[in-house]
Amino acid sequence: MKKGFTLLEVVIALGVVALLLTSFLTVFGPATAAVQRGTSTDEAERLSESLNQSLQEYNVNDPTATPAGELSPFEIAFQNLSNIQTATSIGFLVFDYQANPASLDGRQMAPVTEAPAGEILRANDTFTHQTIVFDQSQATALARNYLEAAKNQVFLVQIKQLVYSNDGELMESDSTGGLTGMRPDGGGGYTVYASSSMPGGTGIYPEAVIAYQANFYLLPSNDPLYISRLTAEVVAEKLGSPVFSRNMAVLR
């Protein structure tokens, strides 16, 4: 009586299984990727509204701090958007994190990274999800604990101010010195307004709106060290095209 399988039979069986797996991945792999990208797009679209609101509420270099002085939402947004046009940072981090409404970290709900004694971290009704926006340069500093408490996906959002061309078409500004007026000045260029000129001073920003394009890139990791080392070149080469883009505006 024959017992077990011969080596040849085992090799043939393994080959058939490998062939079936390859066929399965070929057929369903692209569909799975499309579903994942669609989910990321939906999440980025939802977070875009939180981004626009957060830019008007607090300094994204330190979301836990109360803005100095009596600044209007427009003035806070001006400073955030102006700084990102000049800083070494390459964009904003936007994500949901698990928060404890009963505990504050400055003006934000404190991130929850460990379960309090006697409680279950992921099944506690007293915790909530809160959206926060950080400057990417703060990944290993102020944003570290929030990234560790991140829920779902973390996005890097690159911002480009939108201005009018000489022909009246909306286009991306190429200014690296800060926000500019939305229309060309008398010399055909664009007047730059530094964040220090808002409010007060001789360089008051004259516009009633700041228009910008927000490009959302899905980050493969929420590790603070990885995020802190991102460069514009890495984003272009490794992250590909944004999963979501939207033209947005802040009104005075």
Give the residue from 74, 66, 32 showing the smallest Cα distance to 205.
74
114 vs 108, more confident: 108
CA–CA dist 145, 201 (Å, integer): 38
Segment of 40-44, 84-88, 145-149, 204-208 carrying the highest mean pLDDT: 145-149
**Residue 212 pLDDT > 90:** yes
Give the residue from 92, 95, 135, 130 showing the smallest Cα distance to 112.
130
CA–CA dist 74, 38 (Å, integer): 32
What's the confidence (pLDDT) of residue 122?
53
Torsion, Cα of 169, 191, 136, 39 (10° steps): -10
108 forms beta bridges with 105
What's the confidence (pLDDT) of residue 35?
41
211 forms beta bridges with 249
State pLDDT tens for residues 123-137. Answer: 455 678 888 888 888
Q: How confident is the model at residue 34 (pLDDT cuts 50, 70, 90)?
A: very low
Mean pLDDT of 15-21: 77
Six-digit token string for 218: 């899905």
- Kindly report the pTM of this predicted structure: 0.78
State pLDDT tens for residues 37-60. Answer: 556 888 899 889 899 999 998 888
